[in-house]
Amino acid sequence: MKDTLINQASPGINKCQQCCIRELVLFADLQQDDFKLLHQPICNIEIKAGDTLYREKSAANFVYTIRSGMIKLVRYLPNGNYRIIRLLHPGDLAGIEALHGLAYLHHAIALKNTEICQIPIADIEQLIRKSPNLYKQLTARWQKIQSDADIWLAELTVGSSKKRVANLLLYLDAQNTNESFYLPAREDLGALLAITTETASRVIAEFKRQGLLQTQQHSAQIDKVKLEQYI
Amino acid sequence: MKDTLINQASPGINKCQQCCIRELVLFADLQQDDFKLLHQPICNIEIKAGDTLYREKSAANFVYTIRSGMIKLVRYLPNGNYRIIRLLHPGDLAGIEALHGLAYLHHAIALKNTEICQIPIADIEQLIRKSPNLYKQLTARWQKIQSDADIWLAELTVGSSKKRVANLLLYLDAQNTNESFYLPAREDLGALLAITTETASRVIAEFKRQGLLQTQQHSAQIDKVKLEQYI
DNA sequence: CGGACGTTTGAGGAACATCAAAGCCTGTGG
DNA sequence: CCACAGGCTTTGATGTTCCTCAAACGTCCG
């Protein structure tokens, strides 16, 4: 796995009020006046596929909002293997654990080129005291993380490998508004579903032969109806 | 599985200020005055092993604090099987998703006789506005749920069945201050670790033969050092 | 005593991991 | 422009683990 920590030089300063995904993000409910409480700039940074946004156990000073692209949260196992704990899509928060003054709990690595906003936690803490709306946004995020994790536990780590892969493909498809979605590498599919790279490859190849799945590079389309029969 | 909804008659009214596990619970940081904001009584209820505290998708009006005992959060799969999503111990919150006006996300079922405090969410919402300390307690709980779920995903649903069972036994032992801990039934071990009841039984029997585990009824003791070699 | 329930154990087979090798695509350098 | 190296994917052969089905055993309780 590539392991390049991002270069944080030349980040652009972002105007939250005019953000194109404003209705998705943490600050969706903030009023005009609230933004005056932001003392540090919100930096808009871009990272490339394979770059590491932050590392597990490193000091957590920022929360990040995904504007575009895709991030995997990774935890390494004692035996050197890794598991992907969660996938982050546009509108999701990365590093929310920073709000408790703790270190980050995972490695955050970009799966494709990704744009993010970097928000200093000091500002968030100040805003929380003033804006009850922000508090609600935050707990909504926690709630979403919890329920996603629950579904993951209940659905994606049990059953046959075909069922798991089918479930994951349907999940990835549902995340995207486009008709095609990003299909992670076989190794990452394995790390997501707790199966080996080879098994992931076999199932994907099988689905392609059956016409349930078409791919070009990492762009994929599925036949939802037929895939659902595997669940 | 038994399925008796709890009888909510004759709950005792609890004095939070004098609660014996006060330092553990949600209201740990509240000041004397804050308690005046509680309009409805906090009920202290007792449920027996096998009783259901609340059901998935039912209206969520209360958050619960576990005072003693043990609760499993359960989700049923389409095929009729169930998975245990999380175990709750004294000091943990059950039904925290109620704070978002949603239905409960799981079935909550007692594994042994359990004492709980029933807290109306209307009161909590009022307290949040007044007490920033409560807000911090709440986000701390969300954070703990997340990190526990992450560990579960990374550690307990991968690897051989022996590794999973060993990990679970060590986890259960670490939760308790006593030298012995509660060992769930084989079926529940399977639902926790995504293995079959039979496999759970075989591994437990094997560990007993090897002297890594002693049991009396549901009370168990382990040899930590030797068990850690399976991880 | 008899029935219900949970646990243990066995035999057989299917699914998946492991090990190994070949194929394929991309980018680089001669 | 071609050759080649490196990474990712596919495929095969083999072995192990675990699931499935089945039956027996122990325990608790009416």
Model confidence over A30-47: pLDDT tens digits? 777 777 777 777 788 999
Least confident of B48-52, B88-92, B136-140: B136-140
Question: What is this structure's pTM?
Answer: 0.89
Contacts of A128 in chain B (CB under 8 A): 135
Least confident of A8-22, A138-152, B209-223: A8-22
| Residues A110 and A47: beta-carbon distance below 8 Å | yes
| A42 CA, D22 C1': Å apart | 65
Verify whether the Cβ–Cβ distance B150 to A78 is below 8 Å.
no
pLDDT of residue A15: 67
Contacts of B170 in chain A (CB under 8 A): none
* pLDDT band per the 50, 70, 90 thresholds, residue B11: very low
- What are A176's two structure tokens? 């995207």
- What are B209's two structure tokens? 């033969």
pLDDT reading at A2 higher than 70: no
pLDDT reading at B25 higher than 80: no
Verify whether the Cβ–Cβ distance B231 to A77 is below 8 Å.
no
Query: For chain B, first and last CA: distance in Å?
Result: 31
Q: Closest approach of chain A CAs to the CA of B184, in angstroms?
A: 19
| B209 CA, D27 C1': Å apart | 21
Nearest CA in chain A to B135: A135
pLDDT reading at B59 higher than 90: yes
Amino acid at B111: L
* In chain B, % of residues over pLDDT 70: 94
Please state the separation of Cα B224 from the chain's center in Å: 23
State how far the Cα of A32 lies from the Cα of A130, in Å rounded to an integer: 13
Verify whether the Cβ–Cβ distance A83 to B231 is below 8 Å.
no
A106 in reach of chain B (CB within 8 A): yes
B229 in reach of chain A (CB within 8 A): no
B160 in reach of chain A (CB within 8 A): no
Indicate the helix (H) or strand (E) that contains B142.
Answer: helix B132-151
Please, which positions of strand C sit below 7 A from a protein CB?
6-10, 15-20, 26
Give CA angle at B216 (B215, B221), nearest 5°. 40
* Cβ density class A45-67: b for 16+ within 10 Å, e for less: bbbeeebbbbbeeeebebbbbbb
Contacts of B78 in chain A (CB under 8 A): 231
Sheet holding B219-222, edge to edge: B181-182, B219-222, B213-216
Residue closest to sugar C1' of D18 by CA: B199
Inter-residue long-range contacts of A144-151, CB under 8 Å, 24+ positions, other chains counted: A145/A86, A145/A96, A145/B142, A145/B146, A146/B97, A146/B105, A146/B142, A146/B145, A146/B146, A146/B149, A147/B97, A147/B105, A148/A86, A149/A86, A149/B146, A149/B149, A149/B150, A149/B153, A150/B75, A150/B85, A150/B86, A150/B105, A150/B106, A150/B149
Q: Closest approach of chain B CAs to the CA of A56, in angstroms?
A: 12
Q: What is the length of chain A?
A: 231
The partner residue sitting opposite B99, judged by closest CB among A83, A128, A139, is A139
Write phi, then psi, for A28 (nearest 5 degrees).
Answer: -50, -40
Residue closest to sugar C1' of D19 by CA: B196
Verify whether the Cβ–Cβ distance A100 to B135 is below 8 Å.
no
